[in-house]
Amino acid sequence: MTTASNAATNTTAATEPVKAEQSLGARIVARAGGGVMRVFLILVGLFWLMPTIGLLLSSLRGADDIASTGWWKVFTAPSQLTFDNYSRLLDNSTITHSLLSTVMITVPATVLVVVIGSLAGYAFAWMEFPGRDWWFLVVVGLLVVPVQVALVPVSKLFGTVGIFETTFGVIIFHTAFGLPFAIFLLRNFFAEIPRELLEAARLDGAGEIRLFTRVVMPLGGPAIASLGIFQFLWVWNDMLVALIFADSDSPPITVALQQQVRQFGNNIDVLAPGAFVSMVIPLAVFFAFQRQFVSGVMAGAVK
Amino acid sequence: MTTAAAGGADAVPPADKHPSGQSSVPAPRKPSDASAGGPGRSRRSVTGTRRVIAALFLAPALVLLGALVVYPIVYSVYRSFFDQAGTGFAGLDNYKALFTDDTIRTAVKNNAIWVVFAPTVSTVLGLIFAVLTERIRWGTAFKLIVFMPMAISMLAAGIIFRLVYDAAPERGVANAVWVGVHDTFAESAGYPKAHPLPVHPLKADADGSFVTKAPVRAGQPVQLPLVGVAPAKMPTDAKPAKAAAAGAGKITGTAWLDFTRGGGGRPNVIDAKELGLKGIEVEAVKDGKVVASATAAADGTFALPASADGAELRLPASNFKEPYNGVEWLGPTLVTPGIIGSYVWMWAGFAMVLIAAGLAGLPRELLEAARVDGANEWQVFRRITVPMLAPVLAVVLVTLMINVLKIFDLVFIIAPGSSQDDANVLALQLYRSSFGTDADLGIGSAIAVLLLLLVLPVMYFNVRRIRKEGRR
């Protein structure tokens, strides 16, 4: 290692003068290239923002304006901008009700995954029982099972138990499909907790439950945060599961809007602000917890 | 496979089989657990734990996973061998249907297109963005913008792209741009709704063109009056129409908008404020053959050579066709590429973030050494960066492939009802086969099993990787 880096340093030193001679022309090329690159990136950035901006501006225009011209007209006619769509949307009980349903589904489904996943993750990391590693491999295998596989069988199962088309059913379904990732992530994180810490707590007389709630859970904070954010966004943004399992009288926002999409074109004044409202919470969570979100994404790259 | 093999017990020396805590701690709190843990079980166990407690910690997870994930797999496999009613054994018929039924075959074909293109395009873009932003100060801001769509629902993204792909160029930004580009290169100065008045020297022909009722003669200026063009649609540089001067040996004439704004215009007379139909094509036709043609000037005048003498003048239909309206993004042919575009918009950021993390982990010295040795940036990228990123790229590609395999929301939302068959994918077909009025659970289950089979290699790969890590 040392030799290698020494060699590298030597090479650099040896070639330094040559580099300096080359660098004038090379630097100009690099600068110009850098300029082109910057312009390119700015254009790509604008291009990437455009669809979202289009939605936002569309949501701020009256139905007649939307029907006759594109959202870019507001740049020349800013007077078109209005909050009418939003005030009407918030008076629309279907939409407000569905936002509430989304919260009622998302929060429990996130909490349950964190709690159940932590319990299992801790057991896999620090407890002894026969077949432990084998069970863990099964969980890892389940990481990539597509939800589609479960739609029909679980709807029959839920039908038998009597929780088909209930909010509870949706919560349970999301919890189950969130668990493989939760267990995988938390088990790996908990396994890194220094053994001495747990032993010390044990010596102080902590039982398994206390150990879990007072030592493991607090130490697992970062992983739990990542998992929680990931699961929260996943459930909040889900449409398919809710489409099948949610109570048709209180569907979450995604399903409520999906039902509106069928008449696309005539109701953009409802769809655009609706979509934007449904995006507000995920975007807020995303911007507030970028770091946790990214580490969740990294850990979940196999999902 | 035994527990010990996967657990890493082989790394522990035999003498230290008991968890270290127990050997140094005088009185373990739960002596009975020493046997439960078993010898040489794990380097991790703090002290022995009662199996009952372990079971309690695991039970909720295992029950949920068993009932809602494992059982459905078994059920789907079983159900896929039975017919629609669920009573008659169907053998492999449902699987055969996947490749014989036209709608489902489209879904299989589209899914293949998705799996090939969506992950590769996203990964390539992610790689480009990650490399370019690496040493730019505002790179983080750029990354945030590209990564942001990952946080929103596919439903919202679907609505966003329904707006983008709106077929009317005055509303959909994709077509607005497309038409703008198209019209820059191919001018479309047409007069879509222009037509002659009933009492008039022109008559309509079957193909949408207008022809003079009588043959034209040299030296007698022809008048070609049309109405029906909205003043706003007239070319901005059109000039007031002028009666063409009679030229010897030439056919001259005027094509103009025979309409005076605000009234006062007389039919078939060139009035003062009436504009020439700039750019309109005039053809001289003899016996069905075009012998000469001309384009009207800004004041509507045109001149044809003597060869046109005795011909009938025709204003060909190309003058009156609708302006170019862009592409039908969500029509049968473009709907799948269009939706893939929206997917790339959502997921290129994912690829970018993962690749950027991999990039940050590359040894700087190696890249610098190559540069010092005279490699240019492209060579460094091609020969060092990409090969060293290969594992990351593989993870990104595989993750996106799994994700794309079960794509549903975007297709369901973006594809309009009329082209949903053309945009069909497996997950959408599964939904249609499983729910709704003419559901066929046999087919639905077969699709589910197919999806599962397609992710099996990844499942195997994951499990093998974890086993290796466990052994380390």
CATH of the domain at B428: 1.10.3720.10
- Nearest-CB residue to B3 (from A130, A145, A303): A130
Look over chain B and give the mean of its residue pLDDT values, rounded to a whole number: 79
Distance from CA of B471 to the nearest CA of A (A): 11
The per-residue pLDDT for A191 is 86
Number of domains, chain B: 2
Tell whether B33 is covered by a domain: no
- Measured CA to CA, the distance from residue B20 to residue A165 in angstroms comes to 52
3-state secondary structure of A155: helix
Through-space distance between the first and last CA atoms of chain A, rounded to whole angstroms? 36
Q: Does A210 touch chain B (CB under 8 A)?
A: no
- Residues on chain B touching A55 (C-beta within 8 angstroms): 156, 159-160, 163
Q: What local confidence, expressed as pLDDT, does residue A265 receive?
A: 66
Distance of CA B252 to the CA centre of its chain: 52
Adjacent-strand bridge partners of B301: B254
Claim to verify: residue B423 and residue B380 sit in the same structural domain: yes
CB–CB of B14/B40 below 8 Å?
yes
Domain end position, chosen among B286, B319, B352: B319
Nearest chain A Cα distance for residue B119, angstroms: 13
Q: What is the 3-state secondary structure (H, E, C) of A73-95?
A: HHHCCHHHCCCHHHHHHHHCHHH
Q: What is the pLDDT of residues B225-281, one digit of tens each?
A: 888 777 666 777 778 888 877 777 788 888 888 877 777 777 777 887 788 888 788
- Determine the pLDDT at residue A35: 78
For residue B15, being part of any structural domain is answered with: no
**A144, A153, A176 member nearest B459 (Cβ):** A144
| pLDDT at B461 (0 to 100) | 85
For residue B300, the model assigns a pLDDT of: 84
Q: List CB contacts (< 8 A) between A48 and chain B.
A: 145-146, 149, 345
Euclidean distance between CA atoms A273 and A292, whole angstroms: 28
- Rounded CA-CA distance B171/A67 in Å is 7
B397 min Cα distance to partner chain A (Å): 10
In sign, the C-alpha dihedral spanning A123, A126, A130, A133 is positive
B305 lies in the same domain as B335: no
Judge residue B453's burial from the number of C-beta atoms within 10 Å of its C-beta, 0-12 exposed, 13-18 middle, 19 or more buried: exposed
A157 touches chain B (CB under 8 A): yes
Any chain B CB within 8 A of the CB of A229? no
Mutate to test the interface with B, among A69, A80, A152 (most CBs of B within 10 A): A152
Q: pLDDT truncated to tens, each residue of chain A (303 aa)?
A: 344 444 444 444 444 444 444 555 555 656 666 778 888 889 999 999 999 998 998 888 887 787 777 888 888 877 778 888 888 888 888 888 899 999 999 999 999 999 999 999 998 988 888 888 889 889 988 988 999 999 989 988 998 888 888 889 999 999 999 999 999 989 988 888 888 888 888 888 777 788 888 888 888 888 898 899 889 999 999 999 999 998 888 899 999 888 888 777 678 888 889 999 999 999 998 888 888 888 777 776 654
Q: Does B58 touch chain A (CB under 8 A)?
A: yes
Chain A residues 166-185 within an 8 A CB cutoff of chain B? 172-173, 175-177, 179-180, 183
Give me the residue from B46, B76, B434 closest to A202, CB to CB.
B46
- Find chain B residues with C-beta within 8 A of A12's C-beta: 368-369, 372
Q: Which residue of B has its CA nearest to A113?
A: B61
Q: In what order do the strands lie in the sheet with B289-295?
A: B202-204, B210-212, B312-315, B281-286, B289-295
Q: Do A70 and B447 touch (CB under 8 A)?
A: no
Q: Which residue has the tokens 């790259």?
A: A301
- Assess if residue B30 is contained within a domain: no
pLDDT score of A12 = 41
Of A143, A145, A153, the CB nearest to B452: A145
B116 & B137 share domain = yes
Domain layout of chain A by residue ranges: 2-59, 92-302
On whether the CB atoms of residues A167 and A249 are closer than 8 A, the answer is no
Between the CA of residue A271 and those of B82, B102, B160, B248, B368, what are the distances in Å? 41, 33, 10, 66, 52
Single residue among B264, B288, B319 that ends a domain in this structure:
B319
Tell me, what's the ipTM? 0.84
In a domain, B424, yes or no: yes
Find chain A residues with C-beta within 8 A of B448's C-beta: 146, 148-149, 151-152
Q: Which residues of B touch A141 (CB under 8 A)?
A: 459, 462-463
Pair of tokens at residue A33: 């290239």
Q: Does B365 touch chain A (CB under 8 A)?
A: yes
Question: What pLDDT is attached to residue B187?
Answer: 58
> Which pLDDT belongs to residue B232?
66
Count of CB contacts below 8 A, A vs B?
Answer: 326
Provide the residue range defining the domain that includes B289.
202-319
User: Residue B44: its pLDDT value, please?
Assistant: 45
Any B CB within 8 A of A58 CB = yes
Q: Of B469, B429, B467, B465, which Cα lies nearest the Cα of B94? A: B429
Last residue of a domain, one of B319, B343, B373: B319
CB < 8 Å to B172, chain A? 70
pLDDT of amino acid B158: 92
Of A117, A244, A298, the CB nearest to B435: A244
B111 and B216 belong to one structural domain: no
Q: Are B251 and B295 part of one and the same domain?
A: yes
Tell whether B453 is within 8 A of chain A (Cβ): no
Distance from CA of B87 to the nearest CA of A (A): 16
B176 vs A72: CB contact, 8 Å cut-off?
yes
Q: State how far residue B427 is from chain A, nearest Cα, in angstroms.
A: 7
B-chain residues near A180 (CB < 8 A)? 65, 69
Q: Which residues of chain B neighbour A17 with C-beta distances below 8 Å?
A: none
Beta bridge partners of B314: B211, B283
Gap from A81 CA to chain B (nearest CA, Å): 16
Asked if B75 reaches chain A (Cβ–Cβ under 8 Å), the answer is yes
Q: What is the CATH number of domain A92-302?
A: 1.10.3720.10
Mutation for testing the A interface, residue in B46, B377, B409, B425 having most A CBs under 10 Å: B46
Contact B143, B129 (CB under 8 A): yes
Q: Which two tokens stand for residue B114?
A: 């998705």
B157 and B226 belong to one structural domain: no
Cα separation of the two ends of chain B = 16
Q: Which of B44, B76, B146 sits opposite A149 (nearest CB)?
A: B76
Q: Is residue B346 part of a domain?
A: yes
Ranges of chain B whose pLDDT falls below 50:
1-45, 472
Residue A218, helix vs strand vs coil = helix
